[in-house]
Amino acid sequence: MEQHFILATTGHVDHGKSALVRALTDTDPDRLPEEKARGITIELGFAEFSLNSKHDPETQLRLGIIDVPGHEDFVKNMVSGVGCVNLGLIIVAADDGWMPQTEEHLQILNYMGVAEVIVVLNKIDLAPGDEDFLQEVIRDELQASPYADASIVATSTLTGQGISELKERLAEAFSQIPCPEDREKPRLSIDRTFSVKGHGTVVTGTLVDGRLETGQALVVQPSGSSSRIRALQSFGQDVTVAYPGSRVAVNLANVAVRRSGAAPHEGVGRGDVVTVDHVATASKVIDCLVEKSGRLLEKNGPAANPLKHGARIRLHHGSSNTPGRLFFIDRTELNAGETTGAQIRLERDVMVLAGDRFVVRDWSEMYTLAGGIVLDALGDARRFRRPEQRSFFEQCQSGDDRIEALIKATLSRDKGSAQGGLLVHSCYGKEQVDAAVKRLAVASLIVLKDSWVFDASFWNDQTTIAMKVIDEFHSERRELLGMSQTQLRAQLDEFWTGKEGFSVLVTALEQLGFESAGALLKRRDHQISMPPDLALAVDRIRAGLSTKLLEPPNRKQLVRDANDERAIRFMIDTGEVVEVAEDLVFSKPGFEQLTELVRQFLSKGSGATVSELRQHTGVSRRIILPILEHLDTVGVTQRDGDMRKLRATSD
Count the helices and strands in the chain (H runs, E runs): 18, 34
CB 9 within 8 A of CB 81: no
pTM exceeding 0.85: no
**From its phi and psi, is residue 269 left (phi > 0), alpha (psi between -120 and 50) or beta?**
beta
Helix pair angle (402-414, 430-442), 10° resolution: 70
pLDDT at 400: 63
Domains and CATH numbers, the chain: 2-176 (3.40.50.300), 187-275 (2.40.30.10), 283-383 (2.40.30.10), 532-646 (1.10.10.10)
Host H or E run for residue 411: helix 402-414
The number of CA neighbours under 13 Å toward the Cβ of 210 is 20
Q: Quick one: DSSP state of residue 267?
A: S
Is residue 570 within 8 Å of 534, Cβ to Cβ? Answer: yes
For residues 17 and 11, what is the distance between their CA atoms, to the nearest angstrom? 7
Percent above pLDDT 70 for the chain = 93
Q: In this structure, are residues 463 and 510 in contact, taking their beta carbons and an 8 Å threshold?
A: no
Q: What pLDDT digit, counting tens, does each position of 455-499 carry?
A: 999 999 999 999 999 999 999 888 888 999 999 999 999 999 877
Give the model's pLDDT for residue 39.
34
Mean pLDDT computed over every residue of the chain: 88
Helix (H) or strand (E) holding 361: strand 357-362
Mean local confidence (pLDDT), 328-340: 94
* pLDDT tens profile 354-375: 999 999 999 988 888 999 999 9
Q: What is the mean pLDDT of residues 421-437?
A: 94
Q: What is the pLDDT of residues 162-206, one digit of tens each?
A: 999 999 999 999 999 888 889 999 999 998 888 888 888 999 888
Of residues 41 and 477, more confidence is placed in 477
Contact 227, 252 (CB under 8 A): yes
- The string of pLDDT tens digits covering residues 603-641 is 988 899 999 999 999 999 999 999 999 999 999 999 988
Cis upstream peptide for 626 (omega within 30°): no
Query: What is the rounded distance in angstroms from the CA atom of residue 632 to the CA atom of residue 184?
Result: 50
CA angle 136, 142, 146 (to 5 degrees): 145
